[in-house]
């Protein structure tokens, strides 16, 4: 799987050389507080990556699932219209309080994808090995299965404007 790692590193190098803006990766945690005092969730930085559709690529060649994201800005509206809006506001508040630059996109609840051959053959995530070709599922059905190298080339080209 060194060819896969090399493919990911090359894609990251192209993005870095073009100066494409990356996004923060974060882990949700609840800070320790006093007993019986509920603390708001917080976001801990775990790295940076570029969003390539359904996956996030770090400069060191790791892939993550693209999950939830927010922007590190102060939330303006507090009208609690629905639980989903409230969930997004709390996430935005956590990103704003965290050590992220103002306006930075913060991806959280991300999961690093296993890149070893056994995991790819099992195909439990968006990556799978089909006839010795690493494929990426970018949609919920088999028609959304495409070779990873072509997908990365397409996404990177779009981001750098080729």
Give me the residue spans of the domains in the chain. 2-160
- pLDDT per residue as tens digits for the range 18-33: 999 999 999 988 777 6
- pLDDT per residue as tens digits for the range 103-145: 999 999 999 999 999 999 998 789 999 998 999 998 776 677 8
**Number of CB atoms found within 10 A of residue 27's CB:** 13
* Spatial contact of 50 and 12, defined as CB atoms under 8 Å apart: yes
Identify the CA nearest to 24 among candidates 99, 111, 115: 99
Mean pLDDT of 82-88: 78
Identify the CA nearest to 64 among candidates 84, 46, 90: 46
* Spatial contact of 94 and 42, defined as CB atoms under 8 Å apart: yes
Whole-angstrom distance, CA of residue 96 vs CA of residue 104? 9
Identify the CA nearest to 4 among candidates 59, 50, 47, 62: 62
Rounded mean pLDDT of the chain? 88
- Which residues touch 4 (CB under 8 Å, ≥6 apart)? 115, 134, 148
Which stretch, 25-29, 44-48, 97-101, 138-142, has highest mean pLDDT? 44-48
């Amino acid at each position: 799987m060194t060819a896969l790692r090399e493919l990911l590193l090359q894609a990251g190098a192209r993005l870095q050389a073009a100066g494409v803006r990356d996004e923060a990766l974060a882990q949700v945690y609840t800070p320790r507080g006093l007993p019986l005092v509920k603390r708001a969730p917080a976001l801990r930085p775990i790295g940076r990556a570029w969003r390539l559709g359904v996956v996030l690529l770090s400069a060191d060649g790791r892939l993550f699932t693209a999950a939830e994201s927010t922007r590190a800005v102060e939330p303006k509206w507090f009208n609690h219209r629905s639980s989903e809006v409230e969930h997004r506001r709390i996430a935005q508040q956590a990103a704003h309080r965290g050590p992220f630059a103002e306006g930075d996109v913060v991806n959280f609840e991300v999961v690093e994808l296993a890149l070893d051959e056994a995991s790819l053959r099992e195909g439990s995530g968006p990556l799978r090995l089909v006839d010795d070709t690493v494929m990426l599922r970018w949609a919920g059905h088999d028609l959304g299965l495409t070779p990873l190298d072509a997908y990365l080339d397409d996404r990177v080209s779009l981001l750098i404007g080729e």
